[in-house]
Amino acid sequence: MKDTFQTTGEYWQLMLRVFRKPEKWSVFWKQFWKESQKLIIGSLLLVFIVSIAVGGVICLQTANNLESPFIPKYYVGVMARESLVLEFCSTMIALILAGKMGSNIASEIGSMRITEQIDAMEIMGVNSANFLILPKIISATVFSPFLMLMSFFIGLAGGGLLIAITGIITLAQYIEGLQFAFNQWYIFYSMIKMAVFCFIITSISSYYGYYAKGGSLGVGKSSTQAIVISSMLILIFDLILTKLLL
Amino acid sequence: MIEVKGLYKEFDGKTVLEDINIQFRPGECSLIIGASGSGKTVLLKNLVGLYEPDRGEILYGERNFTKMKFAERKLFRKEMGMLFQESALFDFATVEENIMFPMDFFTEWSLEKKLERVNFCLKRVNLEGSNKLYPAQLSGGMQKRVGIARAIALNPKYLFCDEPNSGLDPTTSIVIDRLIQEITREYKITTVINTHDMNSVMEIGDHIGFIHKGHLVWEGSNKEIMDTDCQPLNDFVFANNLARQIKRNR
């Protein structure tokens, strides 16, 4: 219990240091684009592959389970759209990113901590937390909603592709289902969730990396903790945000 | 000049430094020596502000470092350079970007001027032409030299070196030692070096402070160290048979 309070206190103290005005905006923007490339562009392929596969699987499973003649065939499209937008493209993608981004951030910052690179910055008078962490948090939070959008469209395309290949329903039925009773608020709800989740992933992973200690074993431990805690918080905030926004 | 007055530091109730009083003068290589765990790294970290002393004062000239506010201390850090045990070069940056790093933050220099300064610093440490290499592509000795180049990038008044020869062969160690000494004398820098390398002590030890179990028990120069009566220092300096034999033959 004491550890939890201490960790929470340390986390917020770190965030206070992170959310300061950057010492030099030119340096900040340089880091911001670098991090955007690494965290967001670097995740595109993974998101693409997972989304296209999951879109296809959702369509296949829904079609196989729709045995009642009273349920129209286009319902496969409705189910695919709703599953993707409500949970998969935000929560599931965020859990996958917690593994990829989280371990990347925690191990990068953790290695810098144990090799005294962070101390070197501090001695120079640079706010290391602000320099290292702020660009990661901002870039991931700003651009991740677009990653969610991309995942959504690719997931739908994956479903369409599977339908075109297998012919379980017609493409016209699938498209009709995608357009049926569409609530556009769900898109914004999902984008908001994704932004919050990516804030959690980047800030939590940065925290564990920043306070890593004990050599390479410590860095490994901090990466694991970053992924576990981020994933747990993503699921908790999924519940909270769903209750608040829907 | 750096003046340490009555410095105390403890961790979890265990006293690591007790009543340390020492002065470090400009243009001199001051070495803090002592066995592993004696407290010399803690003293160095107090000097640069990575640790806060529990009691005592650290004065940089007339300025009291221990009483400086955060913003004041941040500005003051521009006058400090530090060479770390493992060099602590930024992995994500090239040699050029590493040396330019403090300039990016604390100067309004143009890119040309920064590059000019980078090339000057690299030339000073005999590493011309290595601008575009990454730290992983450098040997240990080269990394140390880039570390020195980065430390002197903003013309510091104070240079701190934590075990600068750790992990280096004796020949490279002497190159690094001499480089630090040359820079110290050339720019009248106050240099504090934390080491347990006796070669460094004999080579560049203008002023030496020996720390034993958290106490400063001896001060002198490399010329005086061989004839000291201080038993803990003798045990440290003449720890091996060869050294003891040399002492006996003197």
User: Domain containing B18 — which CATH number?
Assistant: 3.40.50.300
Task: Identify whether A202 is part of a domain.
Answer: yes
Task: Identify whether A124 is part of a domain.
Answer: yes
Task: Identify whether A175 is part of a domain.
Answer: yes
Task: Identify whether A31 is part of a domain.
Answer: no
Q: Indicate whether A162 pLDDT > 70.
A: yes
Task: Identify whether A199 is part of a domain.
Answer: yes
| A86-140 residue pLDDT tens | 999 999 999 999 999 999 999 999 999 999 999 999 989 899 999 999 999 999 9
Rounded distance between C-alpha atoms, residue A140 and residue A207, angstroms = 15
Number of domains in chain B: 1
Residue B127 belongs to domain spanning: 2-249
Task: Tell me which residues of chain B, numbers 105 to 164, contact chain A at a CB-CB cutoff of 8 Å.
Answer: 105-106, 160
Q: What is the pTM of this model?
A: 0.88
Encode chain B in three state secondary structure.
CEEEEEEEEEECCEEEEEEEEEEECCCCEEEEECCCCCCHHHHHHHHHCCCCCCEEEEEECCEEHHHCCHHHHHHHHHHEEEEECCECCCCCCCHHHHHHHHHHHHCCCCHHHHHHHHHHHHHHCCCCCCCCCCHHHCCHHHHHHHHHHHHCCCCCCEEEEECCCCCCCHHHHHHHHHHHHHHHHHCCCEEEEEECCHHHHHHHCCEEEEEECCEEEEEECCCCHHHCCCHHHHHHHCCCHHHHHHHHHC
B50 vs A: CB within 8 A: yes
CB < 8 Å to B106, chain A: 124-125
Q: Which long-range contacts (CB under 8 A, 24 or more apart) does B221-226 make?
A: B225/B201, B226/B250
Q: Say what the ipTM of the complex is.
A: 0.85
Give whole-number Cα distances, A78 to A59, A106, A175, in Å.
10, 39, 9
Task: Identify whether A16 is part of a domain.
Answer: no
- Mean pLDDT for chain B overall: 90
How many percent of chain B have pLDDT more than 70?
Answer: 97
CB < 8 Å to B104, chain A: 24, 26-27
The residues with which B7 forms a beta bridge, in sequence order, are B20
The answer to whether B87 and B168 have CB atoms below 8 angstroms apart is no
CB < 8 Å to A123, chain B: 48-50, 77, 80, 82, 160
Q: How confident is the model at residue B247 (pLDDT cuts 50, 70, 90)?
A: low
CB contact under 8 A, B90 and A117: yes
What pLDDT, on a 0 to 100 scale, did the predictor assign at position A147?
96
CA of A123 to nearest chain B CA: how many angstroms apart?
Answer: 6
Residue A162 belongs to domain spanning: 43-245
Number of domains in chain A: 1
